Structure 1
Amino acid sequence: MPGRRNTLSATTIDKGWPHQVALPDDICIEENLTMIFQFLKDRGLDCRTRHVQAIWPDRRYQHMRLHCFPDRASVEAFQAVFGGEFFDPSRDREGGKVRGPWRRHGAWARLLESGPLKVPKILRD
């Protein structure tokens, strides 16, 4: 892609790192991001990130960050500590499209905490 050196395409990530867990994007910042990076470094885990727009039936939406791993054991270790929802890029994206939204079911509820992660006070309603 022009202008985006050293950036893997969404298709490459989905193929090479198909085991994914989604967390709200606003929870993956500041000290939380440092905590996530330290966890990955300490365990030597290979992780890539990408984004997906989650949309609920009542038309609420939320930007989610996908933490993508090459194997199931790594994604399970990450999810056991930080929570989040497992995401299957071939099943969960609308129409199987690489950049398709994630159509959710049920009622939307804002996630303010997940494992040790908390949405920063300035971003809380």
Structure 2
Amino acid sequence: MSRRKGELSAGAIDRQWPHQVALHNLVSRRRYNEIEAFRADKDCPPLGHSVVYQDEWFHVYCFADEAHALVFSHRFGGEIFDPRERGRGHAWAQWKKGTAKPKRRG
């Protein structure tokens, strides 16, 4: 997959906005204005990405602040998304839910 000059890579998004929430696409569409109002004053990338899990599509919203991601997930019924569970290569849109090993705290 190629990207345009100046476009943020998935890795850059994951580094700058590591706290991510997956929200079912139907909810994203139905509550679009409310979601955008919530994101308006938060440090969020202009675009997110989508993943598919068990034939259901989810839009992934990214946040720099973990507290914002948690409030967002509770308000809109989203699920915390670990970027390490995103597919690679031709399967980049696959959500491999539950495959990421717990992060070590030290």
Fold shared by both chains (TM-score > 0.5): yes
Gapped regions of structure 2 (runs ≥ 5)? 99-106
Give the root-mean-square deviation of aligned CA atoms.
Answer: 2.3
Tell me the distance in 1 between the aligned counterparts of 2:25 and 2:12.
21
SS at match of 2:52: strand
Aligned to 1:81: 75
Q: 1:103 maps to which residue? A: 96
Q: TM-score, normalised by structure 1?
A: 0.62
- Give aligned pairs, total: 93
Between Structure 1 and Structure 2, the one with more strand by share is 1
Q: Distance in 2 between matches of 1:11 and 1:35?
A: 28
The CA deviation at 1:89 is 0.7
Aligned pairs for 1:56-95 within 5 A: 61-90=55-84, 92-94=85-87
Runs (4 or more) in structure 1 with deviation over 3 Å come to 4-7
- Aligned-partner Cα distance in 2 for 1:78–1:84: 7
Task: Kindly name which structure, 1 or 2, has the bigger radius of gyration based on alpha carbons.
Answer: 1
Aligned twin of 1:21: 21
Percent of paired sites with the same residue: 34
In the alignment, the residues of structure 2 paired with residue 5 and residue 33 of structure 1 have an alpha-carbon distance, to the nearest angstrom, of: 28
Report the CA distance between 1:39 and its aligned residue: 1.5
